[in-house]
Amino acid sequence: MAAIPIEVGLVIAGALFCIGLVGVLVRRNVIFILLSIEIMLNACGLAFVLAGSYWRQPDGQAMYFFILTMAAAEVAVGLSLVLQVYHHFGSLDANMVNRMRG
């Protein structure tokens, strides 16, 4: 297997992160925001794995497991919040949920 240069991998990770970030910023639907956050998390995981393989260290992969676990927990909490928001506001528009405006 030909080694992919680290720069390419990092650019892909950065691009994924930016896609996710833009998704968080522009999407109004809460489900899509959650999805975009997942993309950002995976971009981070990719960067970790790449760095781990570059330095020949297992830490990067171990770190990815942590991120995976954390992402699962986050999705569980996030989806239950999404359900609550839907029940409460009858909508999934994040702009409707602005009751906490200072």
Span from 22-30, 43-51, 59-67, 76-84 in contact with another protein (CB under 8 A): 22-30
Q: Phi first, then psi: what are they for 5, rounded to 5°?
A: -60, 145
| Nearest in space to 29 (alpha carbons), one of 85, 101, 73 | 85
**35 near another protein (CB under 8 A):** no
Q: CB nearer to another protein: give 37 or 50.
A: 37
Which region among 3-11, 55-63, 66-74, 89-97 touches another protein (by CB under 8 A)?
A: 89-97
DSSP state of 95: G
